[in-house]
Amino acid sequence: MKAVLFDMDGVLVKSEESWFRAVRDAGTRFRGRPVTREEFDPTFGQGTAADIPCFGLHCTVAELDAFYVDSFTSHLDAIWVNPDALPVLQAVAAKGLERALVTNTVGLLTSRILDRAGLAAELSVRATADRVPHAKPAPDLLWLALGELGVAPADAVMVGDSRFDRQAAAAAGVRFFGLGLDGAVRLESLRELLDHLPG
């Protein structure tokens, strides 16, 4: 094993409430009525391009991404930072393993979230949704991260918490460690990851 790929939302931070508020507001702006919690909950983490048909929004992906940046930024106060995130990222580096972020969030928002969480310095390699043709569950983000790390799929693991993460890892040929989710390894806390790493 040479690298660990981390999903951001649900693994390092939890920004579901912030995202709900942004998506709710997008419904008001782009379809004339807010997206409800019942609509939002089963779709969380799917990516901007999927949000448009799912919620019946009348906009382009670029327009929705721009709206999300503005709206989400106003709700950063609702983000929860996993207290295990920083010590685990530092421990992974201490073991001599590469680290990368693989997220369906666009780059600008990712930077703001990582800054808010105090994790920006730990994750210089960031595969974000605006850098690939297809977000998770497609494998594009993982392949981008692996390419920038110079690591083969067989030499990496991905830590994620959603079916989109698990499907993307499978499509990329990367072992999947599920946080609260079944995978090659199931983790009940992020700190348990360290028990499954070499070194």
Would you say domain 3-14+80-196 falls under CATH 3.40.50.1000?
A: yes
Residue 138: closest CA among 120, 100, 115, 164: 164
Q: Are 123 and 147 in contact (CB under 8 A)?
A: no
Residue 106: closest CA among 49, 176, 28: 49
Which ranges in 7-84 belong to alpha helices (H)?
A: 16-31, 37-40, 48-55, 61-73
Give the up-direction half-sphere exposure of residue 29: CA atoms within 13 A in the CB hemisphere: 17
- Quote the pTM value: 0.87
Tens digit of pLDDT for each residue in 181-192?
A: 999 999 999 999
Q: What is the pLDDT of residue 199?
A: 76
Tens digit of pLDDT for each residue in 18-71?
A: 999 999 999 999 999 999 999 999 998 778 889 999 999 999 999 999 999 999
Q: Where along the chain do its domains lie?
A: 3-14+80-196, 16-78
Q: Are 54 and 30 in contact (CB under 8 A)?
A: no
